Chains A and B, each alone.
Chain A
Amino acid sequence: MVVSCSKEQGIGIIQVSHTLTAATVDTFREQLAGWQAAEPDVKNFVVDLKHVDFMDSAGLGTLIAVLKQITERGGDLKIACLQKKPRMVFEITRAYKVFEIYDTVDEALNFFD
């Protein structure tokens, strides 16, 4: 399982448990799409990257695609618990300008309020 999803205060929390790379993004997309189909009323999401210690351009591209899809539906996606090594990928690709990044999931949830 690459993704485990839960709902808190009506916001979807997507916990990613693997590296987010070309090898895992398809599973990530499928599992997330499956959960979104089961919970159609959830519009806002927090992606918890606590357990993601590596990410490549495919992983980043997938996160951007998911963000785009969610914002098109009127929702928003925030990133939480970004680790040191993926943070460097966010820095060099300027992805930190695209996403709102928070230190903890709770902090991200509070900002939805």
Chain B
Amino acid sequence: MNAVFYTAEVLPWAEDLGDTPWPLLPVANRPLLDYWLETCAELGIGQVQVILGEGAGQVEEFAGTGSRWGVEILYSFARASEQPLDYLKATSDRWSDGLLFVGGAFFLRRRQAYKPAGFKSLDACTHLSGDRTLFLFGKTGDEVKGLLDGRLESGRGLEQIHIHPYTIDGIPAYFGLNMKLVAGEFARYLTAGFSDANSSSVGYNVLTPPSAHLRPPLIIGNDCSFGSMTTIGPKVVVADHVIVDSHTRLSNCLILQDTYIGQNLEIENKIISGNRLVSATDGTAIEIDDSWLVARNRPEMRTEDLVRYTILWFLALGVGIVQVVPFCILYPLVHLTRIGSYHREIFHDPRTGFVKLPVFQKIENRKSVVYRLFRAATLDRFPWLLLALRGRLFVCGQPPMRHPDDDEIIKQLPQYYPAVFSYADYSRDSDRLVDSLWYAHIRSLFEDVKILVKSLLYRFFRAGRR
């Protein structure tokens, strides 16, 4: 039998929980994909194909070759023109030994009577969510073909073998699943760390002072630290690398990894992921830049980023110092002769959502030596350079994206680095989306310096010719 896991679906609700791709979102401290692979191992499935989308690198890094589960994992990318079922139909000859397909955020929730051997008696079946097939199972090639072509009716489904087909269709469902598992169901799956009879599981390297109260049921991951007089539980899932400061109470909540929770707080019915606070009941999410409350305890900026930021800041300072006098002389002339001026436009901002930036616009299309000088010295970007020195923009990166014109591009960018200079400044055939994706992929100090130098030189030699 083979298995196919389709992880390319875009789930907007999962984005509120941080940068973790949804197949790796933890359910009782184990990634969702881990449960699917555990099922494959129990069924003796030899080959698993994972169809990748957003977060492909992280998914591949987690699952690797599949040797941890005793399976062989093959990876492929989803094609935008093809639905998962179209792919399965097109390659139906490959499923002659049967197929287990999972096509979205779907959890095989084991009931108490479940036994892995039950899959042998499971009739061919599908589970749908709207018009999407989330689960498909057939033991033979004919069954799989029949289900794909619609010739074969789905059987009773997973309930036949005491599995609840649980669709994770939003934050409340995701939270609810975690709470169900922490309430005792987690023992039906493989668990790490120390477990005891009263529904609690505690990972490795967990520091709990004598005054901290641990109230089961609870699940605590590895490398966690709890302050004095904290109360953890009941019904709490704490992921790896979490720090809870003193006098704080956690109950009925889910704390995702790399989170710091400040002193004297009361967390109930919430999901906390780094500095994101998410309501478990309606999915409302806020990002709090306040380390007295909640914070991400893994530094956002790596040493490499810090070095790049520092070097580019000083380069930008140098350019700014060179530009300040020419700007003070030439801009009043450009403005007074009505050749061009600045106006504010709304751009997307990675931190605040939207930001107004001054954009230089030529008013009259006539030849002017002053304007050529202004452009040649890249003085039109001087205000942006000042914003970069204040940390509001990157010096080199992707072009700032306008709202609402570039909303579609923003949706497709996994990382957004709005900057003063970008490929578009010196590449005439620049495509904003492709360039932005490429930049996010190869971002480095060398690339940034290259963009800066090429942009300044190109603008200097080409000024007024475009």
A residues within 8 Å of B by Cβ? 21-22, 54, 56-58, 84-85, 88-89, 91-94
Contact: A56 with B279, CB < 8 Å? no
**How far, in angstroms, from A56 to B262 measured CA to CA in the complex?**
13
Residues of B within 8 A of A94 (CB): 264-266
Known: A84-B284, A89-B288. A57 touches B268 (CB 8 A): no
Alpha-carbon distance between A54 and B268 when the two chains are bound, in angstroms: 19
**What is the bound-complex CA distance between A58 and B288, given in angstroms?**
12
CA distance A21 to B279 in the complex (A): 21
B277 adjacent to A92 (CB under 8 Å):
yes
Contact yes or no, B286 A54, CB < 8 A: yes
Can you pick out 25 interface pairs between chain A and chain B where the beta carbons lie within 8 Å of each other?
A22-B290, A54-B286, A56-B288, A56-B289, A56-B290, A56-B293, A57-B262, A57-B292, A57-B293, A84-B279, A85-B284, A85-B286, A88-B270, A88-B277, A89-B277, A89-B286, A89-B288, A89-B293, A91-B270, A92-B265, A92-B277, A92-B293, A93-B265, A93-B266, A93-B293
Cα of A49 to Cα of B264 in the assembled complex, Å: 24
| Complex: A107 Cα to B289 Cα, angstroms | 32
Q: Check if A91 sits within 8 Å of B289, measured CB to CB.
A: no
Contacts of A89 in B (CB 8 A): 277, 286, 288, 293
The reply to whether the CB of B267 lies closer than 8 angstroms to some CB of chain A is: yes
Residues of B within 8 A of A (CB): 262, 264-268, 270, 277, 279, 284, 286, 288-290, 292-294
Could you tell me the distance between the alpha carbons of A91 and B280 in the complex, rounded to whole angstroms? 13
**Given A93-B265, A94-B266, A88 and B284 contact (CB-CB distance below 8 Å):** yes
User: For residue B292, which residue of chain A has the nearest CB?
Assistant: A57
List the A side residues contacting B264 at CB < 8 Å.
Answer: 93-94
- The CA of A67 and the CA of B288, in the complex, are separated in Å by 23
Q: How far is the CA of A21 from the CA of B294 in the complex (A)?
A: 15
> 14 new A-B pairs (CB below 8 Å) besides A56-B288, A56-B289?
A21-B290, A56-B290, A57-B290, A84-B279, A88-B284, A89-B277, A89-B286, A89-B288, A91-B266, A92-B265, A92-B293, A93-B264, A94-B265, A94-B266
Bound form: Cα–Cα A56–B288 in Å: 7
Instruction: Collect the chain A residues with CB atoms within 8 Å of residue B286's CB.
Output: 54, 85, 88-89
Known: A54-B286, A84-B284, A85-B284. A92 touches B292 (CB 8 A): no
Contact (A92, B267) CB under 8 Å given A84-B284, A85-B284: yes
Q: In angstroms, how far is the closest chain A Cβ from the Cβ of B60?
A: 35
Quote the shortest CB–CB distance from B136 to chain A (angstroms): 39
Q: Which residues of A contact B284 (CB under 8 A)?
A: 84-85, 88
User: Shortest distance in angstroms between A39's beta carbon and chain B's nearest beta carbon?
Assistant: 32
Shortest B288–chain A CB gap in Å is: 6
CB of A62 to closest CB in B, whole Å: 13
Tell me if A91 and B293 are in contact (CB < 8 A).
Answer: no
Give CA–CA (A91, B277) in the complex, Å.
Answer: 11
CB distance from A66 to the nearest CB of B (A): 18
Query: Complex Cα distance A56/B277, Å?
Result: 12
Contact across chains for B268 and A91 when beta carbons are under 8 A apart = yes
- Report the Cα distance A91→B289, complex, angstroms: 17
